[in-house]
Amino acid sequence: MGIWLAIGMLLWVVGFAIEVIADQQKTKFRKNPDNAEKFITTGLWAYSRHPNYFGEIVLWLGIGIIALPTLVGWQYMTLISPIFVIFLLVKISGVRLLEEGGQKRWGADPAYQQYIATTSTLILLPKKS
């Protein structure tokens, strides 16, 4: 179990850190009255339009990996939890709803369209050319 625990814990810590940092960056951004009608494009948000959700997904993958070597038989069904969280964040609520809301709010803004075109939706990646 040693390697699985180490990999899972590393993923959990990295995911948790990404989620917390992204949330703190957005909170700080929103507290500035000058940003009231703006969208965030700095910090982790320069590499992903939803870095907080990416962190949450990585965190849940870490939990699944930690549990994996101890599961037997029907216990494997517990892995539905991380899969369900990912599905919810990407397809039902989270990303999908925020993307729709962003288009309604800033869709006519060329800077927003540029941000959408060059920034990864979920995974932290360098800007696209």
Q: Give 129's pLDDT tier (boundaries 50, 70, 90).
A: confident
pLDDT tens track for 26-54:
999 999 999 999 999 999 999 999 999 99
In a domain, 123, yes or no: no
Q: Give 14's pLDDT tier (boundaries 50, 70, 90).
A: very high
In a domain, 86, yes or no: yes
Average pLDDT of the residues of the chain: 96
In a domain, 79, yes or no: yes
Instruction: Work out the burial of residue 109: count CB atoms within 10 Å of its CB; fewer than 13 is exposed, 13-18 middle, 19 or more buried.
Output: middle
d(CA 107, CA 111): 9
Is residue 1's pLDDT more than 70? no
In a domain, 125, yes or no: no
In a domain, 128, yes or no: no
In a domain, 46, yes or no: yes
In a domain, 24, yes or no: yes
In a domain, 126, yes or no: no
Domain that includes residue 84, residue range = 2-118
Question: The tokens of 12 are what?
Answer: 């959990």
Number of independent structural domains in the chain? 1
Question: The tokens of 34 are what?
Answer: 């000058």
In 3D space, the residue among 20, 3, 1, 118 whose CA is nearest the CA of residue 70 turns out to be 1
Whether 49 and 120 have beta carbons less than 8 Å apart is answered as yes
Q: What is the mean pLDDT of residues 13-21?
A: 98
Q: What does the pLDDT read at residue 16? A: 98
